[in-house]
Amino acid sequence: MQFQAVERTTAVAGLRTAHLSAILTLAAGLTLSSSPLLANPPGSPCACDLAGTWYGGSVVAYQMTIIPAAAPDHYTVFAQGMYKNSVMSTVYTGQVVRKHNRYEGPLMQLSTSDPDFLNPPPIGKMPDIAAVWSTMKLVDCNTIENRIPFFGLYFASNIWQPGVDWIAPGKTPLLDAPDVDLLDVLAGGMPIVETYHRLLNTVKTNLLHKN
């Protein structure tokens, strides 16, 4: 009788262990499948990654390309806005680095409202510098939230002269206060928040034209 009681106790314990194991497995599966950073919609990379071609912005539209750099968790960023607010400007370029669940780093653009820059070189002048601090987060595999807590314009007269001859003591973008705080001008002093969507790397076959 004692032997049968032990058997029954062992069997019940085994069933409880198996039941608990099944619950934990199911919970783990639900957690993994519901995590936006682990879901992989069709056309997205095998694992969620910042690299790719993106479109979006906030009040203005941008096309953005992000390329993995040589160092792990470092990415080179190219961003071009669909607007014109100067005589001539370059695209925004920079690099972001992964810090926990965000990617942070600087971007810059050379810009000028001087029509002399439309002439062939040498121009004898230098452009202004627009500097940005960007902090990006993957909302899911195909969506980026980009927050901009710093956006400043530095006048060329406080940085450099043709040559290139650095003005001393000149301003250093991102370390010294900008000549124009563009967040005050564009967003009432608040950070700009942008949203970008990935250009997928697949296409539905029924959309392809055939010979």
Are 70 and 122 found together in one domain?
Answer: yes
In the predicted structure, residue 1 carries a pLDDT above the cut 70? no
Q: Which domain holds residue 8?
A: 1-34
Are 16 and 56 found together in one domain?
Answer: no
Are 74 and 109 found together in one domain?
Answer: yes
The pLDDT of residue 5 is 40
For residue 187, tell me if it sits in a domain: yes
Q: What is the mean pLDDT of residues 62-74?
A: 97
| Closest-CA residue to 145 (of 53, 50, 73, 35) | 50
What are the tens digits of pLDDT across the range 151-188? Answer: 999 999 999 999 899 999 999 999 999 999 999 999 99
Are 22 and 93 found together in one domain?
Answer: no
- Please report, for the domain that includes residue 76, its CATH number: 2.40.128
For residue 64, tell me if it sits in a domain: yes
Report whether 80 contacts 92 (CB < 8 A).
Answer: yes
Are 102 and 13 found together in one domain?
Answer: no
What are the tens digits of pLDDT across the range 76-133? Answer: 999 999 999 999 999 999 999 999 999 999 999 999 999 999 999 999 999 999 999 9
Read off the DSSP letter of residue 118.
G
Percent of the chain with pLDDT over 70: 78
Tokens describing residue 81: 């806005």
CA 145 to chain centre: 7
- Radius of gyration over every alpha carbon of the chain, rounded to an integer in angstroms: 27
**Which pTM was predicted?**
0.78
Q: Give the list of residues 6+ apart from residue 65 with CB closer than 8 angstroms, or none.
A: 52, 53, 54, 77, 78, 79
Are 11 and 66 found together in one domain?
Answer: no
Are 114 and 19 found together in one domain?
Answer: no
Are 29 and 120 found together in one domain?
Answer: no
Residues 186 and 193: their CA atoms lie apart, in Å, by 12
In the predicted structure, residue 23 carries a pLDDT above the cut 50? no
Are 114 and 155 found together in one domain?
Answer: yes
Residues 82 and 102: their CA atoms lie apart, in Å, by 26
For residue 44, tell me if it sits in a domain: no
The pLDDT of residue 199 is 98
Are 89 and 2 found together in one domain?
Answer: no
For residue 43, tell me if it sits in a domain: no
If one counts the domains in the chain, the total is: 2
Are 118 and 172 found together in one domain?
Answer: yes
Q: Give the list of residues 6+ apart from residue 44 with CB closer than 8 angstroms, or none.
A: 141, 142, 198, 200, 201
The pLDDT of residue 121 is 94
For residue 8, tell me if it sits in a domain: yes
Report whether 62 contacts 56 (CB < 8 A).
Answer: yes
Are 114 and 16 found together in one domain?
Answer: no
For residue 203, tell me if it sits in a domain: no
Read off the DSSP letter of residue 18.
H
For residue 204, tell me if it sits in a domain: no
For residue 207, tell me if it sits in a domain: no
**31 by DSSP, 3-state: which?**
helix
- What is the helix (H) or strand (E) element at residue 182, kind and residue range? helix 182-187
